[in-house]
Chain A
Amino acid sequence: MSRLLTINDLVLEGRSDESWSRIVNGVSLTLDKGEVLGLIGESGAGKSTVGLAAMGFTRDGVRIAGGSVEFDGIDLVNASANTKRNLLGKRIAYVAQSAAASFNPAHRLIDQHTEGPVVHGVMGRGESAEDGIELYRRLRLPNPEEIGFRYPHQVSGGQLQRAMTAMAMSCRPDLIIFDEPTTALDVTTQIEVLAAIRKIVEDFDTAAIYITHDLAVVAQMADRIKVLLKGDEVEEATTREMLDHPQEDYTKSLWAVREFQHAEKPLAPKGAVPVISVRNVTAGYGKIDVLQDVSFDIHEARTVAVVGESGSGKSTTARCITGLLPPRQGQILLDGEALPPDYRKRSKMQLRQVQMIYQMADTALNPRKTIAQIIGRPVQFYLGLRGKEKRRRVNELLEHIELDPAQFAGRLPGELSGGQKQRVGIARALAAEPKFIICDEVTSALDQLVAEGILRLLARLQDELQLSYMFITHDLATVRSIADEVVVMKDGVVVEQGPKTEMFTPPHHAYTDLLLSSVPEMDPDWLDKLLAERGVDNIGDAAVDKM
């Protein structure tokens, strides 16, 4: 095998205010032709920055401060802009995390596909368009002849991600950087994209750097894995070795994350009045029904996980319960009494009992208010506490969520980490002293270790305060660790519901089975086995069904 890429002792610096600080401390890696290297780490590990630096590219506010990047004998650190432009897209291509944001909304897919080959003089427009259609076919996109003539907003996320992979392939590059290409996708869609990427990389013998935070995913894709932590190398080994015998403590801790398990609670006694009862709810926006006849109960001190792909109606159900979206039909009962459908008609007491924690703690907290003000607002609004009493209660809540009041009360959200912000979100929900909290994908924007901390906190609060949770998630590992009961939704309909243990033991509803089997496992052969089991063609068909 011949060497394609050599990165030696690469140091990258990022600008904060007026000074430069290190964000990557001397990372080295090598890549042979046709080889796939997995780059793994939490957010802030510097993996995307390293991935871009491998293309000789840095984002604004980042600079290469030391080390070398050599691609096929070309020194990318010192190369002129022109030299790099001749390589980018042509010999080194990039697949971004969010295809929806990385396709230009103003142009058709095929025009964006052919742009690279035409600009680089690899192929003419017509030839490249034909080649694009062929690539779409290989990547099992539905209607390959016609899909290229759509605009990005007319194509689903999983399809766009495959179209972007096709675009990266358009000049037949020697190296592709995949930057978290499946992170934003549902598990079922993720499989299609993973299978497509792996197939095409093998078909054309392309080398790749696959960047992700998901170990199970990288195990399917990479020949070798390199672990990064806060800009430092932790260790590197072949995939099997890394999975079987991780050497460093940090790597082992990554492996162990999914082991948290909230003790299972006994079933609610027969005849007990549920805290929240969703009864035959049908709701939607405009003329379209998003939910159809949805019913389930949530009992005291229990957690009901609502799972399903994006668009299945999970969040719409939450909007109905909170009264933001009055249902067309059906009722929401709180302690057996019907709640007014519109939150404006609900009493303060009723509003207080139903609280929410949001997915993006970043956007859910007012950036101009201090933590004490954010938590103090519901304390004053719902409980009428003021002055010293309010301050005491806020401090108590901060202690509940394991943040030191002396240190955090006066800070702004911008001065907190992602996990700490989510804790503040939890404290704000607790401030109303509710019975019931809706957790909308509360851990999906967090790294695994941090997410686990949040789950532990929620479990502890449930045990102490007898809270009921509705846990909206698409992550089945989270369901396994925290849920008592599971509600599976698809296209606005509940397809299966029951206690967790029952749901995770066969026989399942066909859709539950698809969801469960689509969660990547920490076994390098998992994807092969699964594809063999399903028959590769089924994946293509599933994609066509989604049209």
Chain B
Amino acid sequence: MTCHVPGVLKIVLQRLALGLVTLFVVSIVIFVAVNALPGDFAQVILGQGATPEAVAAIRRDLALDEPLVTRYVGWLGAILTGDLGTSFAQLNFQSSLGGGEMKTVASQIAPRFANTIFLAGVTAAIAVPVAVALGVLAALYRGSVFDRFTNIFTLSSVSSPEFFLAYMLILFLAVLNPMLPSLSNIYDGMAFSERLRATMLPALTLTLIVLAQMMRMTRAAIINLLASPYIEMARLKGISPMRVIVRHALPNALAPIINVIALNLAYLITGVVVVEVVFVYPGIGQLFVDAVKIRDIPVVQACCLIFAAAYILLNLTADILSILSNPRLRHPK
């Protein structure tokens, strides 16, 4: 009768262990893939007129001439001790210019990542409730004008290029009605409300992008259940259509909805470069793209690893929440 904690705990621990294994495999894939990129830091930084000697010197300095496996083991070992390494750009400038403060990859990424998480959080706080509410209403009034309008609106917003949505929002909310700043000027020590205001336009743009999938899944998962005998039973008890959907269908439709929400949140953390560029938002996406351009491998790898961890962690959370939403698992016989 009582909640069967050991059973659920066991499943959670199993998933967690599985997540770690996945992360390990992903680390290998990242390392191999990043090193398979054409050209390396030495070639990119020295440009076309580089002499072979100069390239070799930089490679030697950065230990790029060692075998792949040795470098991987060294990298992984460092990560396990919490050291993400030092950016090639930093190392190179230091060796050529000498002295100066050296920034580690971790200290480079940390503030950017915090900004990204803030943006994702604000977006999720707007998008998830709106998507679920629209999905519930669309399921309730399925086939109606409202249902069709919601579908057309969310589908067209998800199908439009991100920069287009961003510029449209800037046009309407910053230029024609100057309510929000068109550039996200984020700096240390700014007040929460200020920060929220600066983040609002990128967050709204992202909301338009992630809304469709979550809303449509909510609608589909609910409609899928409407033919169930227990829904018919609820109707035959004289329950109102809204209550039938919210109380009888939604709790049983949670698992697929949670999974789609998790996928979209993962996208918010990893895939928002265009929006960052448009609003000059100092997130991790731009840092990542810049690092790829100059083959700054430690930064690229660290970013990839963070993205992978975010995906795994969010999917893991979704799995666990799906399990918890199932009374059969919460309350075994």
Which residue of A59, A96, A106 contacts B233 across the interface (Cβ within 8 Å)? A96
Taking a contact as CB atoms under 8 Å apart, the answer to whether B236 and A55 are in contact is yes
Residue B229 at the chain A interface, CB threshold 8 Å: yes
| A119 touching B1, Cβ below 8 Å | no
Whether a CB of chain B sits under 8 angstroms from the CB of A326 is no
| Whole-angstrom CA separation of A101 from B228 in the bound complex | 8
Across the interface, do A153 and B230 meet the contact criterion of CB distance under 8 Å? no
| Chain A contacts for B230, CB-based, 8 A | 101-105
Residues of A within 8 A of B1 (CB): 146, 149-150, 154
A210 at the interface (CB under 8 A from B): no
Is A90 in contact with chain B by the CB < 8 A criterion? yes
Please choose the segment from A71-79, A80-88, A199-207, A280-288 that sits at the chain B interface, where 4 or more of its residues have CB less than 8 A away: A80-88
CB-nearest residue of chain A relative to B330? A151
Asked if A89 CB lies within 8 Å of chain B CBs, one says yes
B229 touches A96 (CB 8 A): yes
B237 / chain A contacts, CB cutoff of 8 Å: 88-89, 93-94, 115-116, 119, 167
B234 at the binding interface (Cβ < 8 Å): yes
B316 to chain A, nearest CB (A): 23
B window 244-285: CB within 8 A of A: 247-248, 251-252
CB under 8 Å from chain A, chain B span 19-74: none
| Nearest Cβ on chain B to A317's Cβ, whole angstroms | 23
Closest residue of B by beta carbon distance from A52: B236
A102 and B234 alpha carbons, distance in the complex (Å): 9
Q: Is B227 in contact with A60, judged by CB distance below 8 angstroms?
A: yes
Task: State the CA gap A167–B233 with chains docked (Å).
Answer: 11
A177 CB to nearest B CB, Å: 9
Measured between beta carbons, the chain B residues less than 8 angstroms from A106 are: 248, 251-252, 327
CB atoms of B229 and A153 under 8 A apart: no
**CB neighbours of A60 from chain B (8 A):** 227
Q: What's the dominant secondary structure at chain B's contact region? A: helix
The residue on A at minimum CB distance from B333 is: A154
Task: Please determine whether A103 and B238 come into contact, CB atoms closer than 8 angstroms.
Answer: no
Pick the residue among B229, B243, B248, B327 that contacts A151 (CB under 8 A). Answer: B327
B83 within 8 A of A: no
B232 contacts partner chain A, Cβ-Cβ < 8 Å: yes
How far apart are the CA atoms of A122 and B236 in the complex, in Å?
A: 16
For chain B, residues 319 to 333, give those with C-beta under 8 angstroms from any C-beta of chain A. 327-328, 331, 333
Task: Report Cα–Cα, A423/B243, bound state, in Å.
Answer: 45
Residues of A within 8 A of B333 (CB): 153-154
Question: A119 touching B252 by the CB < 8 A rule?
Answer: no
Set of chain A residues within 8 Å of B251, measured between Cβ atoms = 104, 106-107
CB distance from A235 to the nearest CB of B (A): 29
Does B240 make an interface contact (CB < 8 A)?
A: yes
**B238 and A86 within 8 A (CB):** yes
When chains A and B are docked, how far (Å) is the Cα of A333 from the Cα of B243? 58
B238 near A104 with CB under 8 A, answer no
Q: In whole Å, how far is B56's beta carbon from the nearest beta carbon of chain A? A: 60
A211 CB to closest chain B CB (Å) equals 14
Interface centre among B236, B238, B240 (most CB of A within 10 A): B238
B235 touches A (CB below 8 Å):
yes
Contact assessment for B229 and A102 in the assembled complex, using a CB-CB cutoff below 8 Å: yes
Determine the residue in chain B with the shortest Cβ distance to A116: B237
Task: Say yes or no: A104-B248 contact (C-beta < 8 A), given A86-B238, A96-B233.
Answer: yes
Q: Bound complex: CA of A57 vs CA of B1, how far in Å?
A: 37
- CB-based contact A88/B235 at 8 Å: yes
- Whether A120 and B238, one on each chain, are in contact in the complex, defined by CB atoms closer than 8 angstroms, is yes
Q: What CA separation (Å) do A353 and B42 show in the bound complex?
A: 73
In the bound complex, residues from chain A placing their C-beta under 8 Å from that of B234 are 104, 115
In the complex, what distance in Å separates the CA atom of A146 from the CA atom of B1?
10
| Smallest Cβ-Cβ distance to B230: which chain A residue | A104
| Chain B min CB distance to A180 (Å) | 12
- In the complex, whether A98 has a CB less than 8 A from a CB of chain B is yes
Q: How far is the CB of B83 from chain A (nearest CB, A)?
A: 45
B138-175 vs A, CB cutoff 8 Å, 1 = contact: the mask equals 00000000000000000000000000000000000000
B9 at the interface (CB under 8 A from A): no
Query: B239 on the interface (CB 8 Å rule)?
Result: yes
| Most central of A88, A94, A106 by chain B CB within 10 Å | A106
Q: Is the CB of B243 within 8 A of A119?
A: yes
Query: Are B229 and A101 within 8 A (Cβ)?
Result: yes
Task: Tell me if A90 and B238 are in contact (CB < 8 A).
Answer: yes
Closest to A120 in B: B238
Q: Which residue of A lies closest to B239 (CB)?
A: A119
The complex places the Cα of A119 from the Cα of B240 at a distance, in Å, of 9
Q: Chain A contacts of B243 at CB under 8 A?
A: 119
The interface residues of chain B lying within 8 Å CB-to-CB of A94 are: 233, 236-237
Within 8 A of A (CB), among B288-333: 327-328, 331, 333
Interfacial residues of chain A within 263-300, with CB under 8 A of chain B in the complex: none
> What's the Cα separation between A94 and B234 when bound, in Å?
10
A88-B248 in contact (CB<8A): no
* Residue among B230, B235, B248 with most chain A CB within 10 A: B230
A52 to chain B, nearest CB (A): 8
B327 touches A105 (CB 8 A): yes
Q: Which residues of chain A from 130 to 168 have any CB-CB distance to chain B below 8 Å in the complex?
A: 146, 149-151, 153-154, 167
Q: Which residues of A contact B235 (CB under 8 A)?
A: 57, 88
Contact (A154, B331) CB under 8 Å given A104-B230, A104-B248, A104-B252:
yes
Pick the contact of A85: B229, B238, B248 (CB < 8 A).
B238
Instruction: Give the docked Cα–Cα distance between A119 and B247 (Å).
Output: 13
User: Once the chains are docked, how many angstroms separate the CA of A115 from the CA of B228?
Assistant: 18
Contacts of B238 in A (CB 8 A): 84-90, 116, 119-120
Residue of A nearest to B327 (CB): A151
B323 to chain A, nearest CB (A): 14
Residues of A within 8 A of B240 (CB): 85, 119
Nearest B residue to A82, CB-CB: B240
Chain A min CB distance to B187 (Å): 47
Contact (Cβ within 8 A) A102 B331: no
Distance between Cα atoms of A94 and B237 in the complex (Å)? 8
In Å, the complex CA distance between A88 and B251 comes to 23
The digit string for A503-534, where 1 denotes a CB below 8 A from any CB of B, is 00000000000000000000000000000000
**A 321-335 to B, binary, CB cutoff 8 A, 1 in contact else 0:** 000000000000000
Task: Return B228 CB to nearest CB of chain A, in Å.
Answer: 7
Q: How near does chain B come to A84, taking the closest CB pair, in angstroms?
A: 8
When chains A and B are docked, how far (Å) is the Cα of A57 from the Cα of B235? Answer: 9
- By a CB distance below 8 angstroms, the chain A residues around B229 are 96, 98, 101-102
Q: Which residue of chain B has its CB nearest to the CB of A151? A: B327
Report the separation of the CA atoms of residues A118 and B333 in the bound assembly, to the nearest whole angstrom: 29
Q: Are B328 and A102 in contact (CB under 8 A)?
A: no
Contact A57 B239 (CB under 8 A): no
Q: CA–CA, A153 to B333, complex, Å?
A: 7
Chain A: residues with CB nearer than 8 A to chain B? 52, 55, 57, 59-60, 84-90, 93-94, 96, 98, 101-107, 115-116, 119-120, 146, 149-151, 153-154, 167
| Chain A to chain B contacts (Cβ below 8 Å), 8 pairs | A94-B236, A96-B233, A102-B229, A107-B251, A119-B240, A151-B327, A151-B328, A153-B331
Please provide the 9 A-B residue pairs with the shortest distance between their CB atoms, ordered closest to farther.
Answer: A88-B238, A89-B237, A89-B238, A106-B251, A101-B229, A94-B236, A102-B233, A104-B230, A102-B229
Having A89-B237, A93-B236, one finds 10 other A-B pairs with CB under 8 Å, namely A59-B232, A84-B238, A88-B235, A94-B237, A101-B228, A101-B230, A102-B233, A104-B234, A151-B331, A153-B328
